[in-house]
Amino acid sequence: MSMNNRILVIEDDKAIGNLIKMTLSTQGYEYDIAIDGKSALQKVLSMPPDVIILDLGLPDMDGIEVINKIRGWSQTPIIIVSARGEEHDKIHALDAGADDYVTKPFSVDELLARIRVALRRVKKDSLLDMELPIFTNGNLKIDYLANTVFIRGEEVHLTPIEYKLLVVLAKHVGKVLTHNFLLKEVWQQVLPSDVPSLRVFMATLRKKIEENPANPKYIQTHVRVGYRMLRYEEE
Amino acid sequence: MSMNNRILVIEDDKAIGNLIKMTLSTQGYEYDIAIDGKSALQKVLSMPPDVIILDLGLPDMDGIEVINKIRGWSQTPIIIVSARGEEHDKIHALDAGADDYVTKPFSVDELLARIRVALRRVKKDSLLDMELPIFTNGNLKIDYLANTVFIRGEEVHLTPIEYKLLVVLAKHVGKVLTHNFLLKEVWQQVLPSDVPSLRVFMATLRKKIEENPANPKYIQTHVRVGYRMLRYEEE
DNA sequence: ATTCAATCTTAATACTGTCTTAATGCTAGT
DNA sequence: ACTAGCATTAAGACAGTATTAAGATTGAAT
C-alpha cells in the first residue's frame, strides 16, 4: 500500500540533475535519471514511473518529440523543465501532451508542489480503471479498498495478520497453498519455527469466519501440505 | 463537440477580466465572470463550470480559502492567476488543490494552452459526479463551504489540521485509512516520526466530536493499520 | 521589531490489543 | 492403540495506542 512514488528525471545537465536528485530523495521519492531521449524512452517502457520530469533541451532529441513518443502509449504526467522561457516552447509542449511547465531557474519547493499535484492526479486516475475491489465467495466478502471483511452480511474485525492471511487465500481461491508459501506471503520470510504459529492464526481466523470452525467450509486443511480456500457460488 | 466548454473566471480586476473574456470568446468558450469569492462559490454550485480561473487577490476572501471550499465538493480544475509571484502563494495554492498556476503578466497563449490541458483532463474524469457541499453522518455535519463542523447541532471549533483530518476521514467514510495515507493527505509528506503526532490529533479530534472519547462512535482505531470513520444512518 | 495567543510538535507515561510461544487435546492413518 | 500432524487454549512478551503536558512555532496585532 505504501510503495514510494517513482519519478523519472530526464535531464542532461549534471548540476541540475543532482539538485533534483537530492531534492527528491529527501522527500522519500524513488527516482531514476536519464540523460538523453533514447534512454529515457526505454526507461519509461521498462519501469513506468508515476511522474516524468523532462528537460526540453536534450542532446539527441527534441523535447516535443519525446513527449509525443511517450504520449503514444502512456498517460503518465509530464512536467517540463526548461531554460528557455519562450512562449512558443511552453505552448507546444503543453499541447503535445505535457501537464505542466516550470522555467529555469525554478524554486525547488515549487517543483515539489507541482509534483504533488501530478501525483494527486495519478492516484485519482488509477482508481478509475481498477476492477471492483470486492471479493465475494459464498457468504464471505472482502472489501480490499476498505480493508473490511463481512460474513453473512455482518462485519468481522480481523487483526492485520489475520486479514493478510485471508487475502492471500482469497487471491488464490481453489488452489492449495503450502505452509512455506503462506509464511512467505504473510511474514515475508520463512522460519520453520513459524509453522505452529500459522496454525494458531488459522484457528482464530476460522473461529471468526466459519460457522462451525471444527467443520470448516471456507478454509480446508491439507495435511502435510498447507491450506486452501474453497470456491462457492453466490447466494 | 456539441456543447461548448464552460469556464468560470473569478477576477475582480476589470481590465484583466475583459482581456480574458475576449480571449475566451474568440476561442469559442462559454464563460462567466465572478468578481468576488462569495458570488464565485454560488456560481460554481449553481452552474458547475468545466474549468475555473481564479485570481488569488480577491476583495472579500483569501484565494486559498476559495480553493479549499471548492475542493470540499468539486474536482473541477482550477487555474490560478496571480500578480504576486511569491513562492509561498504558489505552493500553498497548489497544495490546497489548484491544478495550475500562471503569474501576471501572463501570455494569453500560455493561458489558453493551460486551459486546454485542464479540459483534456476534465473529459477523462467527468465520470466522477459531484458531491454535495454538506457532509452528514449521524449527528456529525461538515459544511465544506463554511468550513464548519456541527455535532448534535452544536458547532465545534476545529484547528486547521483537525479539520483537514476530519475531512479526509469523511471523504472515505467506511474505509480503513492507513497512517501513511492520512499523513500524506494532511501533511503532504510522510516522516515516520509523524505517526505519534497523528495520534495526538486523533485524541483532540475525538475529544471534540465524540460523546465518549474512550468509546469512539465515529472514529475507530485499527491497531497497526490506521483509522476509519464509521458510517451511520441519518437521524 | 516585540509581544501575545493560538496552534503545532515532541516527549513521557500508563495502558491496550496483538502476536508469539508452549502445553494440551484431538484426529486420521497404520 | 500408537504415532504424526493438526487444532485449540491460555499466558506472557511485545509493539502499538491514548492521553497529558510542556516546549516550540507560527501568525497577527501593536
pLDDT at A148 over 70: yes
Count Cα atoms within 13 angstroms, Cβ side, for B115: 26
| DSSP SS3 for A81 | strand
B170 CA to D23 C1' in angstroms comes to 32
Q: Cα(B224)–Cα(A52) distance, rounded to whole angstroms?
A: 33
In angstroms, the separation between the Cα of residue A225 and the nearest Cα of chain B is: 30
Min distance B87 CA to chain A CA atoms (Å): 7
B62, three cell numbers = 483569501
Most confident of B48-62, B112-126, B154-168: B154-168
A199 CB inside 7 Å of strand D: yes
B110 close to A (CB below 8 A): yes
Residue A73 has pLDDT above 50, yes or no: yes
CA distance B202 to B166: 9
Contact A7, A50 (CB under 8 A): yes
Mean pLDDT of the residues in chain A? 87
For the record, the C-alpha cell of B3 comes out as 456543447
SS3 assignment, position B179: helix
- Indicate whether A158 pLDDT > 70: yes
From the list B143, B145, B144, B157, the residue with the least C-alpha distance to B209 is B157
What sign for the dihedral angle of Cα B154, B160, B161, B164?
A: positive
Note the pLDDT of residue B125.
59
Q: Would the CB atoms of B87 and A109 count as touching at under 8 Å?
A: yes
**The C-alpha cell of A106 is what?**
525554478
Q: Which nucleotide is nearest to A163 (CA to C1')?
A: C18
What pLDDT, on a 0 to 100 scale, did the predictor assign at position A124?
Answer: 66
Q: Round and report the angstrom distance from CA (B5) to C1' (D8).
A: 66
pTM, full prediction: 0.78
Rounded CA–C1' distance between B196 and D15, in angstroms: 14
DSSP string computed for B80-149: EEES---HHHHHHHHHHT--EEEESS--HHHHHHHHHHHHHHHHHHTTSPP--SEEEETTEEEETTTTEE
Considering only CB atoms, A94 lies closest to which of B98, B117, B127, namely B117
Using CA coordinates, name the residue in chain A closest to B179: A2
**Subunit contact A160:B109, Cβ cutoff 8 A:** no
Per-residue pLDDT at B124: 63
Q: Which nucleotide is nearest to B207 (CA to C1')?
A: D19
Grid cell at residue A147: 480493508
DSSP annotation of B185 reads H
8 Å CB contact between B219 and B210: yes
CA distance B207 to B33: 43
- By C-alpha to C1' distance, D7 is nearest to A203
Is B125 touching A (CB cutoff 8 A)?
yes
A1: confidence class by pLDDT, cuts 50, 70, 90: very low
Q: Please list the residues that pair with B6 across neighbouring strands.
A: B30
- Which of A135-149, B9-23, B48-62, B74-88 is least confident? B74-88
A206 interface with B at CB cutoff 8 Å: no
The verdict on a CB contact (< 8 Å) between B178 and A1 is yes
The candidate with the shortest Cα–Cα distance to A159, out of B230, B224, B180, B174, is B224
CA–CA separation, B192 and B174 (whole Å): 25
pLDDT, tens digit (0-9, with 9 covering 90-100), for B165-199: 999 999 999 999 999 899 988 987 766 568 889 99
How many CA atoms does the CB half-sphere of B75 hold within 13 Å?
18
pLDDT digits (tens, 9 = 90+) for A162-195: 999 999 999 999 899 999 999 999 988 766 567 8
Å between A168 CA and D10 C1'?
A: 28
Mean pLDDT of B114-140: 79
Q: For residue A218, what is its C-alpha cell? A: 471456507
A88 CB burial (10 A radius; 0-12, 13-18, 19+):
exposed
Using alpha carbons only, give the angle A119, B146, B64 rounded to the nearest 5 degrees: 45
Chain A positions in Cβ-Cβ contact with residue B180 (cut-off 8 Å):
1-2
- A84, pLDDT greater than 80: no
DSSP-derived 3-state class of residue B189: coil
A124 in B contact zone (CB under 8 Å)? yes
- Do residues B12 and B63 make contact, with C-beta atoms less than 8 angstroms apart? no
Secondary element (H or E) of residue A149:
strand A148-151
pLDDT value at A50 more than 60? yes
User: A114 vs B99: CB contact, 8 Å cut-off?
Assistant: no
Q: Using a CB-CB distance cutoff of 8 angstroms, which residues of chain A are in contact with residue B178?
A: 1-2
Q: Give chain C positions with protein CB within 7 A.
A: 6-12, 17-23
B2-52 pLDDT tens trace: 367 899 999 988 888 899 999 999 999 999 999 988 899 999 988 889 999
On whether any CB of chain A is under 8 Å from the CB of B225, the answer is yes
pLDDT at B1 over 50: no
Cβ pair B223:A98 closer than 8 A: no
